[in-house]
Structure 1
């Protein structure tokens, strides 16, 4: 049976994890004019900038405190989200961690923390929220993955595995929800000009003796464009995938990497 076409509700409720800085903060700015927001973070003070940005753009904002690496916190968060009325109809799984180490130094703690935040949390949030989206025949799930999930990088076994898993999860959920008005897509940024990459630059400089400028240039060279991806570029793509204009796009892993994975 053909599914009835349902238009996007007026000012749907959108949940953004990892909203306090970098890509997440820019996503808040993109969504705030058209969506009411639920922002998830570990501490209230870390969400202050995101909340202020959302208020400036006329969004109604709910902040929920949870450590997404903690199973009990995730369970409590899912229960709280189930109480929201209207329910969340746009889920942006943006929170993530990007630790790196050679394989022999990738201990169980690094592996577990990376998988919990980058893969298990998105899975559990989708599991909690997708039924309400399907019931209303409209929803959007956008997972912020990485080019590491498409190709892998040295010294990132945990990170690359988690992001490849997130791409696989995206495709599986898209197939399951395609006839319910819910699209599911992944965005795979290359090296992006965020605090995480700034930390990587410092680590490269410390370990190799190169200057910070040289260390940054080594990451910029991954892109045929010769520069880092801007967080605003990633946020704009999130905004598009959450919109009505992207209704026919689902099950995709969209690289935003200056051509790194294709050229």
Structure 2
């Protein structure tokens, strides 16, 4: 078979296997750390259950992904997870899911690895969202997941620091309800409601157009201009208040 014939066959097979996000759909991308449990326990020296440096690098990675070629509107990160909302009119890579996943996973993995000087890998999935209500549902879902994971993590490491082994701790925490977990922490002198909000609710990053003032280099007169800036929100509201917070962002797009 000639080269041209082989190439045509392979290109056809590639195109037939492609999946796309359809027009007029928002794009949600969620990245998760691959094998981060082992990474954080064995290779990285981190505070348990939450480490300020690790959290800051997750925020920095999220901010970095705003500037790799996609029109990102909102970013959210909790634990080792990042969610990005990409504008429904974004046509990068013709909205090919394979390209979106591979590029964003690669960019996040490379940036994060450089920060920690360890090989760190993210996986990535792309989700089509047809309307604003589902956008709100998605981010509220991820925040509730953050709250549940945070509560369990604090219980787990509190017990580990007080003499329980890994097996005993896991079995004990898995049987507890949400209220029981709060009570367990209280017994060890920890008021979960008083813990930093970023540990419980995650962190939001907003791409916001800001009015700035500068100086005309020719006339030397003050001028006003608009510039996009990334604003980090470490104290997100929760539940319906979070939904209202998001709605105000999404209604502008």
TM-score by length of 2: 0.29
Q: If you compute each CA radius of gyration, which structure gives the higher value, 1 or 2?
A: 2
TM-score by length of 1: 0.28
The structure with more strand, counted as a fraction of residues: 2
